[in-house]
Chain A
Amino acid sequence: MTFRKYLVLAGVTLFAAAGDTLLSHGMKQVGSVSLNHLSRLILAVLNPWVVSGIVLLLAFFASYMNALSWADLTYVLPATSLGYVLLALVAKFALHEQVSPMRWAGIALIAGGVGFVAGGPSLTSHRHHESREHLAEVDPAEIRSEVEV
């Protein structure tokens, strides 16, 4: 694991949590959208909170795809769940909302689960045969630097 890879995982966590929060805040301002009032969806896209939420969720998707290019699905997914923990902490300490004991228990379980995965290897799947063609392109210096880390 290099520093860049930790940054990507942090991006997955932060962008998902922040994007969901902005989007949900914006949609509450817009009001409920039903199939009969689809024009409201267009109004929703004009809401600055919704727009910023969508931009952040696109950033989430880009970092999620980046992470999946070098790590297992079962390694990346628990990292995304850390976002829930983050949201609960923001609710408690920034918004001074009440966080119930049940929620704290949930936070503890998620944090524990992430700890279990973080200690193990990030990539265990066999390389797909399709990716072998790219192996030839790998710069030997790069392989050395990966091994050192």
Chain B
Amino acid sequence: MKHLYASLYTSLYTWSAIVAVVFASVVGDVLLSRAMKQVGDVGALRRRRGLWTVVARVLTNQNFMLGVAAMAVAFFSLLFALSWGDVSLVAPAAASLTFIGNAFAAKIFLHEHVDQRRWIAAVLVAAGVALLAG
């Protein structure tokens, strides 16, 4: 009985950390995507204004900095998740749930037109990643 409780707690910790990883990476991806849309096509910008203008615009963008911070949180949550759970569970679960989460978040927060084609792609890739690392 004691053993059962212990493993329940471990999986509860592991899944909480996985949820934290997924949440932080989705927030990070959305912020980074928004930041880069604000900066604009960097290839065109570089041709007109030079590389340093591009670097300065990206680094002074608030969304970019918040996005990088969110990615750092995701990275450290992943380390915690890996210290509690098996890598064969944590890595594929976090990666594939992030794909699904990003599809929702891109539709809601970035107003991307996530059509049937992209939903199918998100589900296929999420399932594929789960199988690959599983």
Minimum C-beta distance from B59 to chain A (A) = 11
Tell me the A59-103 residues at the B interface (CB within 8 Å): 64-66, 68-70, 72-75, 77-78, 81, 84, 88, 102-103
Please tell me if B97 contacts chain A, counting CB pairs below 8 Å: no
Q: A70-B41, A72-B106, A73-B102 are in contact. Are A113 and B121 (CB under 8 A)?
A: yes
Number of A positions contacting B (CB below 8 A): 46
Contact of A128 with B38 in the complex, beta carbons under 8 Å: yes
- B interface residue count range (under 10 / 10 to 19 / 20 to 34 / 35 or more): 35 or more
Chain A residues with Cβ below 8 Å from B33 are: 68, 72-73
Evaluate contact between A119 and B117: CB separation under 8 angstroms. Answer: yes
Does chain B have a CB within 8 A of A125? yes
19 contacts between A and B (CB under 8 A): A8-B43, A73-B33, A77-B102, A77-B125, A81-B125, A84-B132, A88-B132, A106-B132, A109-B127, A112-B124, A112-B128, A113-B128, A117-B117, A124-B112, A125-B113, A126-B111, A131-B38, A131-B39, A138-B44
B residues with a Cβ closer than 8 A to A are 29-30, 32-34, 36-45, 47-48, 58, 99, 102-103, 106-107, 110-115, 117-118, 120-125, 127-134
